[in-house]
Chains A and B, each alone.
Chain A
Amino acid sequence: MTVESAPCAGCHEVTDAERFAQLDDVLQQYRDVPGALIPVLQIAQAIFGYLPDAALRRISTALGKSFSEVAGVVGFYSFFTTVPRGRHLIRVCLGTACYVRGGKDVLAALRSALRVEVGETTADQTFSLDVGRCFGACGLAPVIMIDDDVHERVRPGQLMGILEKYRVPGARDAVRREARQETV
């Protein structure tokens, strides 16, 4: 699941209070719906960009599920995360093709460049690092995805240049156009 957490240009920064109000609305709607837990967690993750403890507690109370059950469900599905996501999500493909053609080295380079482990977010909240299994671009391995953009045949030496483009606020559209052209 892709999560859009960054406010788009022109939108005001959403406050936490607003996010919780939104969550309460959702919970109101799902209060008596059987099997509501997973959909509610997905919506909550979309609202917050991740699943903060306080939101999970609110969900647990509203749906009458114990906190341990809610936590168990969150931990079972890999698409849920309880750590805040950075503005950009980097996913390194570790499918077989990418792995043997340098994906492993790309990942190592990213870990040391960003000083984060897989699943973590940089201190400045710009990047989160994650891994994936096959983005369907094996012929162009190794592949990384940053948000919705696919970067192909990536070599460790190029990484700084790629990341730099995402650091500039608002620069994302430009990157996206560029990435698309690369693919063409």
Chain B
Amino acid sequence: MVRLTINDTPVEVAEGTTVLHAARQAGVRIPTLCYVERLQAIGACRVCVVEIEGMLNLAASCSLPVREGMRVRTNTRRVRESRRLVVELLLSEHDGDCQTCDRREDCELQALSAELGIRSITYTGQKTRKRIDLSTPGLIRDHGKCIKCRRCVSVCAETQHVGALWAQGRGFDTAIGPAFNRELSTVACVQCGQCAAVCPVGAITEQSHIERVWDAIDDPHKHVVVQTAPAIRAALGECFGCPPGTLVTGKMTTALHKLGFDAVFDTNFAADLTIMEEGSELLARLRRTLVDGQPAALPMFTSCSPGWILFAEYFHPQILPHLSTCKSPQQMFGALAKTYYAEKLGLKPEQIFVASVMPCTAKKFECQRPEMNASGGPDVDAVLTTRELGKMIRAAGIDFLSLPESEMDAPLGLSSGAADIFATTGGVMEAALRTAYEVVTGRPLPLDNLHVAPVMGLTGVKEASLVIEDTRPDWSFLEGVELRVAVAHGLANAQRLVDAVLAGERQYHFIEVMTCPGGCIGGGGQPRFTNDTVRLARIQAIYQEDESKTLRKSHDNPAIAELYATFLGQPLGERSHHLLHTKYHARSAV
């Protein structure tokens, strides 16, 4: 332990603690800007400066480890003035428009200016040159608002192992962005939106589809349906001041009805369907190698997360045959809404408008992939992030918190608890095992509360194995087989796992990859700011939603059984092949 004083109060902290954290432990607030826990402490912005006795210059507390006997002052005139100077300089360069800015409600720069009591800007500096980049389907970048904190650079390079954003140029002309300050579409970017999730200001955010959706709702010739991803219900409340981890499924459903959607459905329905298709695909691949002795593309990787798909297409084309051919639940839903559901209503596909609410910016990319036109046109017409849905509810004058709860509509609104957990890292794997195990053995997964504990939680790469015993006669080839699975979230973790698999260091049958840390609950379209505490709260809410359901397994969903009986035939059948499966293609990363 190290002893020091902070503002004359003695404090004892573990060795290696930074002054910032020591202060936090002592209940002393130090403002920060470029610092993000577990992401970067680069001492770049100097908002977190403190005075250390015996040191000539003020020190950035976020990157300064404590020393025995250190005397720290966090609130002297010199400290306050220095912090204000730094923020005033940032504001003088900042080409902002607070009244209309996307971040006006949760801008960290604005909040910092308020916290420091800045009322005027002494400097009249040159403004950062405004350049708006609309080149990708998922994101908007506004250079004039960038304060060069480099959070996006760290998250993109380190958390996501992509490196699409980097400091370009030098001195005052330094700009954060893609190679040579060209447009984002000119480099390999997987559209995950983690950069938008960590940006403290309005310099990166999603391409808005709000107007598209209002237009469709107002169009009398369109039957407008909405699907909501499982991760929304555990986060949307945060847009209305609820603490992270508040479940708002019923209120959200009511709000969607009030917004004017003709039917309120659930991506969960398609998640259950994904389990049927993907589970069958895995079992088919296992049969192929174990029974027919043929080579099969194992391990099989999940394909729900469009950022991961792009990552594989850009950086690991050799593993593309290993990806499940299943479309993501969003796209399965779209394809069925415009065929199966349209037929039920006697409508043509083009008379249906499918809006999605997703925790994700990459879903905006996914819906415009040319492969996603199984119904003849785009199967999904618009994708709203959780944040955008919050804005629409607000703009419609709906008092969200006082709404009564309601249920989703049939038939595409019915789902099991297995679908809910698609929202969290480890969830798709657990849902798949719940079904696969039961299909093969006739018995439920023999685990406490149906949870696969080793793949739960925020560890970057997780593994589990399960010995299959007492199989049904059809599946006797799996008797005694040890099914080995792995789960990764955050693409840097996925990269590690892929490397280990390709090097032959690790053997698995099935691997779940989610692009974002924590899975969809930590997606690039979720309410800001997402840290591990928030992730864990949302995950806990998702498991709570799962456990509260009577249906816990995808194959028990009666609406899915009806879909197969009346429309699809069987998993991996002809119609499924056309509507629910897709192909991938290699892309050049440079």
Contacts and interface: CB of A to CB of B under 8 A. Distances in A.
Interface of A: 57, 60-61, 65-72, 75-76, 78, 82
Contacts of B461: none
B162 interface: yes
Nearest to B184: A68
A128 to B, nearest CB: 19
B167 A67 contact: no
Given A60-B590, A61-B590, A68 B169 contact: no
A25 to B, nearest CB: 19
Residue among B164, B170, B179, B188 having the largest count of chain A Cβ atoms under 10 Å: B179
A65 B590 CA distance: 10
A68 B178 contact: yes
Given A57-B590, A71-B178, A72-B166, 12 more contacts: A60-B590, A61-B589, A67-B178, A67-B179, A67-B589, A68-B168, A69-B157, A69-B166, A71-B168, A75-B169, A75-B170, A76-B169
Considering the complex of A and B, which 8 residue pairs feature the smallest CB-CB distances, nearest first? A66-B163, A71-B179, A72-B166, A57-B590, A68-B166, A68-B179, A67-B590, A75-B169
Nearest to A82: B180
A158 to B, nearest CB: 34
Q: Is the interface of B mostly helix, strand, loop or mixed?
A: loop
A83 to B, nearest CB: 12
Contacts of B179: 67-68, 70-72
Residue among B187, B188, B589, B590 having the largest count of chain A Cβ atoms under 10 Å: B590
Given A71-B179, A71-B180, A66 B164 contact: yes
B256 interface: no
A69 B163 contact: yes
B225 interface: no
B367 interface: no
Contacts of A78: 170
Residue among A61, A65, A67, A72 having the largest count of chain B Cβ atoms under 10 Å: A72
A66 B162 contact: yes
B157 A76 contact: no
Nearest to A73: B166
B271 to A, nearest CB: 33
Contacts of A82: 180
14 contacts: A57-B590, A60-B589, A61-B590, A65-B163, A66-B164, A67-B188, A68-B166, A68-B168, A68-B187, A69-B166, A72-B166, A75-B170, A76-B169, A82-B180
Contacts of B516: none
B167 A72 contact: yes
Interface string B188-206: 1000000000000000000
Given A66-B157, A82-B180, A71 B166 contact: yes
Contacts of B140: none
Contacts of A70: 179
A76 B180 CA distance: 11
A71 B167 CA distance: 9
Contact of B187 (A65, A67, A75, A76): A67
Nearest to A77: B170
B360 interface: no
B354 interface: no
B164 A68 contact: yes
A124 B590 CA distance: 31
B170 A76 contact: yes
Contacts of B177: 68
Contacts of A75: 168-170, 180
B496 to A, nearest CB: 14
Interface in B31-60: none
B165 A68 contact: yes
Contacts of B163: 65-66, 68-69
Interface in B466-490: none
Residue among A61, A66, A71, A75 having the largest count of chain B Cβ atoms under 10 Å: A66
Contacts of B168: 68, 71-72, 75
B122 to A, nearest CB: 30
A72 B162 CA distance: 14
Nearest to B169: A75
A61 B180 CA distance: 17
B494 to A, nearest CB: 16
A118 to B, nearest CB: 14
A75 B168 CA distance: 6
Contacts of B162: 66
A59 to B, nearest CB: 9
Interface string B220-256: 0000000000000000000000000000000000000
B503 to A, nearest CB: 14
Nearest to A60: B590
Nearest to A74: B180
Nearest to A61: B590
Contacts of A72: 166-168, 179
B590 A76 contact: no
Contacts of B165: 68
